[in-house]
């Protein structure tokens, strides 16, 4: 989510607003595409986080972690 907000700030710093007004798209399309990009990046981030948590849980069951972390993560 922070990546999408960062892209928005970067766009504003580089004058993207002035440039996009010259494009043959409506303001509605610009807003919808911005929300679609944020939703897509959020879903991708969630999928990557879920895959990473599965990998950590698999590692915890395969390797003995110190301090009882294996039981905590399993």
Provide the 3-class DSSP secondary structure of residue 65.
coil
Q: What is the mean pLDDT of residues 30-34?
A: 87
Q: Which of 1-5, 22-26, 29-33 has the lowest mean pLDDT?
A: 1-5
Tell me which H or E stretch contains 5.
helix 2-13
| pLDDT of residue 74 exceeding 80 | no
Domain extent at residue 17: 2-73
pLDDT-derived band of residue 72, with 50, 70 and 90 as boundaries?
Answer: confident
Cα–Cα distance measured from residue 8 to residue 35, given in angstroms and rounded to the nearest whole number: 11
Residue for token digits 């990009």? 37
- The tally of domains found in the chain comes to 1
């Amino acid at each position: 989510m922070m990546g999408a907000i960062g892209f928005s700030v970067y766009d504003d710093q580089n004058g993207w607003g002035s440039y996009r007004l010259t494009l043959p798209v409506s303001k509605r399309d610009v807003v919808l595409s911005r929300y679609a990009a944020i939703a897509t990046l959020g879903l991708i981030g969630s999928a990557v986080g879920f895959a990473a948590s599965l990998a950590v849980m698999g590692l915890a069951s395969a390797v003995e972690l110190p301090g009882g972390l294996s039981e905590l993560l399993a």
